[in-house]
Structure 1
Amino acid sequence: MTQPVVDLESLGRVHFIGIGGVGMSAVARIMVARGVTVSGSDAKDLPVMRDLESAGARIAVGYAASNVGDAQTVVAGSAIRADNPELEAARAAGLPVLHRSEALATTMGQDRVVTVAGTHGKSTTTSMIAVLLKEAGLDPSFAIGANVPSLGVNAANGTSDIFVAEADESDGSFLNYRPLLAVVTNVEADHLDYYGTAEAVFASFDKFAALLPTDGALFACADDDGARALAERTRAAGSTRVLTYGTADDADIHLHDDGPGAVWLSVAGERHRLELQVPGRHNALNAAAAVGVAVELGVAPEAAVAALGKFTGASRRFEFKGQGRGVRVYDDYAHHPTEVRAALSAARSVAGDSKVHVLFQPHLFSRTREFAQEFAEALSEADTALVLDIYPAREDPIPGVTSTLITERLRTGRLVAGGQEALDAVLAAAGDGDVVLTVGAGDVTAYGPRIVELLGG
């Protein structure tokens, strides 16, 4: 990755290739609000593109070299292929081509930046921080990799000098930011298609923590082995302050889990009851991180805890889709075994004594190959596990790698074809009081509304 341009004005007119993506649209939205002339294109006509057009961006549907127009800088999404005609035109014209993270880093300017990194929980924790600060009257700018119902958008240009952003480690691009405060929710081996080894993943987080200034702070989850190890290494380096959060006895921001509906948080020497609208222990941990950041930015602890009660979740993060015949349907973006386990834990807490049925779509051939056993173990937490074919996303097929690598290891569950077969299987399994969970980073999300419809919801 190259170093981001410091001066936003130096970008001139900016064209976004793939502007409809949730991450790309977030950067474009803030650039428009900060006075940049923005144009963009995408293969499909998505609702967010109409929003951007209304805000002043020039939007085109479909890719063509002419869309680049008079742009002086081009931003290309990570899903854009090298032979995209607009990308080829930009390179032929000698225009600077920025990664989304580089464009976002430039947009941040001289703001006090809060970044949230980690293998899991980034979007939810970033959303919590943004909602909390907004409720507390600080009105931050924010850029999140998911739409947030309680905010109404995935990005906004705030009136304060605080900028909250999700920092994606999947391709190393989180090293382009210069945060004042950083949260690391967890560190696990993932995205090995990019990093190659687990050691390379851990090393990248060390570099991320090293970006923090001496007057900044790292907030690391004490309950996660990878994040705890990162905290210890960063503390030993002495380059920035380190604060831990979690249920561990030595956590600086201590979460007291006293059972369902009774979660308390000790921060800045005070103990407060934490009442969340989102279920799951992982969300209580995310909330602890959000409160810690808010207190660091000057929010009173009691105000921070109270503000989190307004958080209703992020899109595709255990998102309630509806119900029918007494069956509740949720959708979750989980695409790593740890995330799947957390989503199923949340579903189990909601279901109580009833059953949990999961429709899971593996994401990427490489991830399926690396974590087939772990996925099977996580999915076995459900009463019924139905597994779809792999969603390839950016990858070409790998010989011998299919969803059967997971299903052959399941204690209870099976492979189902997409479409009506999957719907029939879910409907046959689910009974009154049960919870259905659609899980994965691909198009499995489309099944939730259809299931609700067929249930008569």
Structure 2
Amino acid sequence: MELSKINRVYFVGIGGIGMSALARYFAKRGLTVCGYDKTRTKLTETLELEGISISYLDEISTLPSSFLNKNDDSLVVYTPAIPKHSEILNHFIDKGFSLKKRSEVLGIISKGMFCIAVAGTHGKTTTSSIVAHLLKDTGYDCTAFLGGITSNYNSNVLFGNNNVVVVEADEYDRSFLTLHPDVAVITSMDADHLDIYGDKSQLEESFHLFAGQLKPNGILFAHEGLPLDNSISYAVSNSATARAENLRVEGHKFVFDYADGHHTIKDLSLMLPGKHNVANTTVAIAIALKLGIDAEKIKAAVANFKGVKRRFEYIVNNNNQIYIDDYAHHPEELKACFDAVRQLYPEKKLTVIFQPHLFTRTRDFADEFAKVLSTADELLLLDIYPARELPIDGIDASFLLSKISLENKKIIEKDAVVNYIKNTKPELILTVGAGDIDTLIEPIKNTLTNV
């Protein structure tokens, strides 16, 4: 498929974070862009304000006339999360439209460019965002397709004037195998998406295949400890090739030194807390140095990186109350998030509001979730967010709650959370999850700021 011959694009599932980035990319290129999503969100409303037409009904009658019959200059992009019985999706299939998965389109766009791809079961959104920011802020420049809204740019797609592209490489449905990067990063290979892969060994095999798709003379960075040959290791340790050393907390910021045997950068200051985010920043620095970017420019860019929406994002931060929101939805992510909170606020009582994501993930990692959640001081557990899944008998919030050893725990309905917060006034609140828990952010914020 030649993108230069495409004049209009329809997105089935346009509200997804990766889909919306592609929609913005094509709109910026001057193409006619429209799409469908089942749910109206802040992101879809923003896309509409940017001139993209969106329907919220899965009905053929909502399609623009130009998409009723096949056109050679039309492209349809869909996400695997769309149900197979979708009326709109099946219309495009029946009419013989050119249909591409989001990942396939990303592969086509990046094919002729110098591609930096960041993969991993967690950490890829923050890491790719830091890489893109270092390249942008230092003047090196890049285009970037990201899995989150970066706070510095308030967008999930960045536009550059050179041939460099930064992409988040998604392992779900083996999507990242459409990419052939010049530089690849693998942040983690913990078991996840077992509904797709079956077991951890199959997941790891996909990451090995991804690593094998490097272009000739390509560079692979892998977090220290991952079983990947011919890679440059990175970590917060003294033994990794690219390493963060002398890590300390100073005024609610994480400060560290970078070293790799060739370069040393002292006293880097990071607004984004947590040892895991220091590791993410470390590999981004290593990439920037490989590209020949000046160390002092890198240091300044690290200092002004504001993070990614819903990745340890401060919603309220005053003398009386602190409210942090995070996208964590895997036990390892929860652990890293909790550790960062405890390092910053060791004396405060931690109230956690957690929404489990997917019945299969809750089932497969129930013991691991329970172990981490038991370390909170107070837990408010929401019902499982199903996303693309149908319920599984016996797998619900009560099932997970029964495994949690914490005494101060309860299941709570989403619409009861705000009143609970209003009445109890917790001093340190953490909302975590990848479902629709983000719809609570503004109501909780308003309740805390109006107390």
Q: 2:8 aligns with which of 7, 13, 19?
A: 13
Deviation at 1:429, TM superposition (A): 5.3
How many Å separate the matches in 1 of 2:370 and 2:170?
Answer: 26
Deviation at 1:82, TM superposition (A): 1.6
Deviation at 1:59, TM superposition (A): 4.1
Q: Which moved more, 1:267-276 or 1:91-100?
A: 267-276
Q: Which moved more, 1:271-280 or 1:347-356?
A: 347-356
- Give the aligned partner of residue 147 of structure 1: 149
Task: Give the alignment of 1:303-322 within 5 angstroms.
Answer: 303-322=297-316
| Cα distance per residue 1:259-289 (max 9 Å; x no partner) | 3234111143323221001111111001001
- Give the aligned partner of residue 430 of structure 2: 437
| Pairing 1:102–2:109 present | no
Provide the secondary structure at the position in 1 that maps to 2:185.
Answer: strand
Q: 2:238 aligns with which of 235, 246, 249?
A: 249
How many Å separate the matches in 1 of 2:432 and 2:46?
Answer: 28
Provide the secondary structure at the position in 1 that maps to 2:173.
Answer: coil
Q: Which moved more, 1:202-211 or 1:304-313?
A: 304-313
Provide the secondary structure at the position in 2 that maps to 1:214.
Answer: coil
Q: Which moved more, 1:436-445 or 1:256-265?
A: 256-265
The total of aligned residue pairs comes to 437
Provide the secondary structure at the position in 1 that maps to 2:362.
Answer: helix
- Give the aligned partner of residue 229 of structure 1: 227
Deviation at 1:406, TM superposition (A): 2.3
Coordinate RMSD, CA, aligned? 2.1
Provide the secondary structure at the position in 1 that maps to 2:446.
Answer: helix
Q: Which moved more, 1:331-340 or 1:87-96?
A: 87-96
For 1:116, give the aligned amino acid.
V
Q: 1:366 aligns with which of 343, 360, 367?
A: 360
Provide the secondary structure at the position in 2 that maps to 1:275.
Answer: strand
Q: Structure 1 unaligned segments of length 5 or more: list them.
A: 236-241
For 1:255, give the aligned amino acid.
A
| Cα distance per residue 1:313-359 (max 9 Å; x no partner) | 10110111125771111111100000011111122223231121101
How many Å separate the matches in 1 of 2:424 and 2:339?
Answer: 19
For 2:245, give the aligned amino acid.
H
Percent of aligned pairs with the same amino acid: 36
For 1:33, give the aligned amino acid.
K
Task: Give the alignment of 1:48-447 within 5 angstroms.
Answer: 48-49=43-44, 52=47, 57-65=52-60, 66-67=63-64, 68-69=67-68, 72-222=74-224, 225=225, 228-230=226-228, 234-235=229-230, 242-261=231-250, 262-267=255-260, 268-323=262-317, 326-412=320-406, 413-427=408-422, 430-431=425-426, 434-447=427-440
- Give the aligned partner of residue 239 of structure 1: none
Deviation at 1:376, TM superposition (A): 1.1
Q: 1:204 to 1:47 in 2, by over 3 A?
A: same
How many Å separate the matches in 1 of 2:433 and 2:290?
Answer: 34
Deviation at 1:38, TM superposition (A): 2.8
How many Å separate the matches in 2 of 1:60 and 1:401?
Answer: 33
Provide the secondary structure at the position in 1 that maps to 2:430.
Answer: strand
Q: 1:367 to 1:51 in 2, by over 3 A?
A: closer
Q: Is the 8 A contact 1:335 1:362 kept in 2?
A: yes
How many Å separate the matches in 1 of 2:81 and 2:124?
Answer: 20
- Give the aligned partner of residue 449 of structure 1: 442
| Cα distance per residue 1:116-171 (max 9 Å; x no partner) | 11011111111111111110112211111111110121103211111111111121
Q: Is the 8 A contact 2:58 2:88 kept in 1?
A: yes
Deviation at 1:47, TM superposition (A): 4.9
| Pairing 1:30–2:25 present | yes
Q: Is the 8 A contact 1:359 1:426 kept in 2?
A: no
Q: Is the 8 A contact 2:236 2:275 kept in 1?
A: no
Q: Which moved more, 1:331-340 or 1:298-307?
A: 298-307
Q: Which moved more, 1:332-341 or 1:157-166?
A: 157-166
Q: 1:404 to 1:318 in 2, by over 3 A?
A: same
For 2:243, give the aligned amino acid.
H
Q: 1:108 to 1:56 in 2, by over 3 A?
A: farther
Q: Is the 8 A contact 2:111 2:180 kept in 1?
A: no
Deviation at 1:416, TM superposition (A): 1.8
